[in-house]
Amino acid sequence: MKEWLLHIYDYIATRRKWLWIGTTILTLALLSLAVSLRYDENIMDFMPVTPEEQAALDSLQSQQSAARIVLIIEGDSLTQEALDLCMDRIPQLETEPDWSEQIQTFYSLIPYYIADSTYRRLDSLFTPQAIRNALERDQRILSTPGTSALATAIQHDPLGLIPLSTFDFGLSTDKRSYAFIDSPYGSTETKQNAALVDSLNQQIAAVQENFPNVSMRWVGAPVIAVGNARRIKTDSLLCIALALVCIIALLAYAFPRRRDILLIMLAVSFGWLTGMAVLRIVTPVVSAVVIGIGSVLIGIAVNYPLHLLVHQRYTTSVRQTLDEVLSPLIVGNITTVGAFLALVPLQASALRYLGVFAASMLVGTIIFCIFVMPHLMSAEPTKIRDIRIAQPNPRRANVFQWIIVATTAILIPFALSPFNLSPSNPIYDTNLSHINYMTDRQRADLAYFDSVANPQRVIEQNAYKADLWQHYWLQHDTDSLIALIQTQAEQLGFTTEAFEPFYNYLASYNPLTSNSLNINPPLNMNIIAERLSDNFDYLGLCCSLIVFIFLIISFRNFWLALIAFAPMAVSWIWIFAIMQLFGIQFNIVNIILATFIFGQGDDYTIFIVEGLVYEHQTGRKILPQYRQSIILSAVIMLIGIGILVFARHPAMYSLGVITLIGMSVTLLMSITIPPLLYKWYTMFIDKKN
What number is the average pLDDT over the span 610-619? 82
**643 lies in the same domain as 658:** yes
CA distance 394 to 151: 83
Asked if the structure places residue 533 within a domain, the reply is yes
**3-state SS track over 280-304:** HHHCCEEEHHHHHCHHHHHHHHCHH
**503 lies in the same domain as 652:** no
Which residue, 389, 382, 385, 391, is CA-closest to 254?
A: 385
Task: Check: pTM over 0.85? Answer yes or no.
Answer: no
- Report the percent of the chain where pLDDT is more than 90: 7
pLDDT of residue 27: 93
**157 lies in the same domain as 82:** yes
**337 lies in the same domain as 268:** yes
Q: At what angle do helices 478-491 and 500-507 cross, to 10 degrees?
A: 170
**201 lies in the same domain as 318:** no
**393 lies in the same domain as 255:** yes
pLDDT digits (tens, 9 = 90+) for 122-141: 888 888 898 899 898 888 87
**3-state SS track over 127-168:** CHHHHHHHHHHHHHHHCCCCCHHHHHHHHHCCCCCCCHHHHC
Which residue, 130, 156, 133, 152, is CA-closest to 142?
A: 152
**162 lies in the same domain as 14:** no
Kindly report the number of other CB atoms within 10 A of residue 507's CB atom: 11
pLDDT of residue 270: 95
Q: Which of 473, 507, 541 is the last residue of a domain?
A: 507
Asked if the structure places residue 330 within a domain, the reply is yes
Which residue, 370, 258, 248, is CA-closest to 307?
A: 370
pLDDT > 50? residue 518: no
Asked if the structure places residue 446 within a domain, the reply is no
Confidence of residue 521 (pLDDT cuts 50, 70, 90): very low
Q: How many domains does one find in the chain?
A: 2
pLDDT digits (tens, 9 = 90+) for 183-208: 887 766 777 888 888 898 898 888 88
pLDDT digits (tens, 9 = 90+) for 235-271: 878 877 887 788 788 888 888 888 888 998 899 999 9
pLDDT > 50? residue 504: yes
Distance of CA 456 to the CA centre of its chain: 23
pLDDT > 50? residue 422: no
**234 lies in the same domain as 213:** no
Q: Which residues contact 398 (CB under 8 A, 6 or more apart)?
A: none
**235 lies in the same domain as 214:** no
**530 lies in the same domain as 501:** no
Asked if the structure places residue 641 within a domain, the reply is yes
Which residue, 463, 471, 520, 517, is CA-closest to 107?
A: 517
**209 lies in the same domain as 230:** no
For residues 219 and 69, the answer to whether their CB atoms sit within 8 Å is: yes
pLDDT > 50? residue 456: yes
Asked if the structure places residue 110 within a domain, the reply is yes
Asked if the structure places residue 514 within a domain, the reply is no
Q: What DSSP element (H or E) covers 578?
A: helix 558-582
pLDDT digits (tens, 9 = 90+) for 571-611: 888 988 888 888 887 776 677 666 667 666 777 888 788 88
Q: Picking from 113-117, 172-176, 179-183, which range would have the lowest pLDDT averaged per residue? A: 172-176
Asked if the structure places residue 44 within a domain, the reply is no
pLDDT digits (tens, 9 = 90+) for 347-393: 777 778 888 998 999 999 999 999 999 999 887 777 777 666 656 66
Residue type, 177: S
pLDDT of residue 423: 42
Beta bridge partners of 69: 181
Tell me the residue range of the domain where 25 lies. 2-36+226-433+524-688
CA distance 362 to 351: 16
pLDDT > 90? residue 281: yes
pLDDT digits (tens, 9 = 90+) for 73-126: 887 777 878 888 888 888 888 776 556 666 776 777 777 777 777 878 888 888
**167 lies in the same domain as 263:** no
pLDDT digits (tens, 9 = 90+) for 526-546: 565 566 666 666 766 777 787
Confidence of residue 519 (pLDDT cuts 50, 70, 90): very low
Asked if the structure places residue 55 within a domain, the reply is no
